[in-house]
Amino acid sequence: MKDLTVSPVDRQNILNNKSAIESIQVYLGITGMMFQEEYRYTRQQVAEFYSVDNSTIDRYLSSHGEELRHNGYVNLKGKDLKVFKDQFGWMLKEGSKAPQLGVFNFRSFLNLGMLLTESEKAKALRSAILDIVIDTINQRLGGSTKFINQRDEDYLVAIAREPIYRKEFTSALNDFLDMGNYKYAIYTDAIYNVIFKENSKEYKKILKLEEKENPRDTMYSEVLRLIASFEIGIADAMKTKYSEIGRKLHPSELDNLIEEFSKNRFWIPQIEDARSKMASRDYCFRDVIHDRIAPYISHLGQDEYARFLGEKSKNLIERVIEDPELLDVFKRLKER
């Protein structure tokens, strides 16, 4: 089980998951003081909920202040404080005359609960949070995250164009490389290794894909586009090299060509972006780690959750029903 007390990535992933936060709030059944369109809680109220003293809260505000402020903890002062006291001064146990007052919103309240090691109540809450997050994702996806990539509205565009670029690459291998038919698998893996440091077999093992399942059906649109760019780029480079030497390339020559091609500074930010998206999304949504690109794992933003779990995200069948012109793309995917 993930240890939220030591993992800022896991904490932020949960706090950025709007659906999960709403489910957790329903589970806890606590509201607070509605102020500026959010429920607010004073330091004293939070301390009482977690059964710790105020000095403990202060210590975490000092050690994790930036994270807690990022997730909604604020010091009310000036006009905001006056309005807050006008509304809720009668129920404040602290800070009634202070020039500022620290208050938590629900996200920062949960954030603190993910950090507190002194509180048994916080420990129980962390366990419940992890269960709720899993249940929320499963309910949205019907229990499987294998094809969560296909819920992105950009996925169909990427996968629809993929055969065109793929054909250019395989044709170049056929026309310009002196090697047997296994070259198609070998050099597909060579491109995979450049981009995300895994071959097809390793990728399928990590995602627990069946033997006949196509890895590209589970890849995110950004990764697919980068693979396509590499494939047509390598195809053009092979054609140029073939014209220069007047014969088909040997495997070692293509190996060198791919290595030099991948070192072009143009590719560096694109490769790093693809690795970051694959590593971070698979860690969060699929609960898997690609060991070789694990350093690229970071938390997902709220826009990422909306993209794959929000109202605009839909599975392929839903998109086909809404747009029958997508049926040919869908049929081709099913025939793989």
Nearest Cα to 1, choosing from 142, 136, 133?
133
Cβ neighbours of residue 147 closer than 8 Å, sequence gap 6 or more: 217, 218, 315, 316
Q: Which residues contact 170 (CB under 8 A, 6 or more apart)?
A: 184
**Res 200: pLDDT:** 96
Q: Which two tokens stand for residue 79?
A: 């006009």
- The beta-strand segments (E) located in 152-302 are none
State the sign of the Cα–Cα–Cα–Cα dihedral 191, 193, 199, 203.
negative
Q: Which pLDDT tens digits describe the chain residue by residue (336 residues)? A: 689 999 999 999 999 999 899 999 989 888 889 999 899 999 999 999 999 999 999 999 999 999 999 999 999 999 998 898 888 877 776 555 678 889 999 999 999 999 999 999 999 999 999 999 888 888 777 767 898 998 888 888 888 788 889 999 999 999 999 999 999 999 999 999 999 999 999 999 999 999 999 999 999 999 999 999 999 999 999 999 999 999 999 999 999 999 999 999 999 999 999 999 999 999 999 999 999 999 999 999 999 998 898 766 656 556 555 555 555 655 555 455
- Whether the CB-CB separation of 325 and 38 falls below 8 Å is answered with no
Residue 98 pLDDT: 73
pLDDT attached to residue 326: 54
**Burial class of residue 268 in the structure, from the number of CB atoms within 10 Å of its CB (0-12 exposed, 13-18 middle, 19+ buried):** exposed
The secondary structure of residue 53, as a DSSP letter, is: -
Q: How far is CA 21 from the centre of its chain?
A: 17
Cα–Cα dist 50/121, whole Å: 6
Structure tokens at 269: 């930010």
Q: Is 73 helix (H, G, I), strand (E, B) or coil?
A: coil
Q: What pairing do the DSSP bridges indicate for beta strands 100-105 and 38-42?
A: antiparallel
What pLDDT does 135 receive?
86
- Assigned token pair, 167: 């054909």
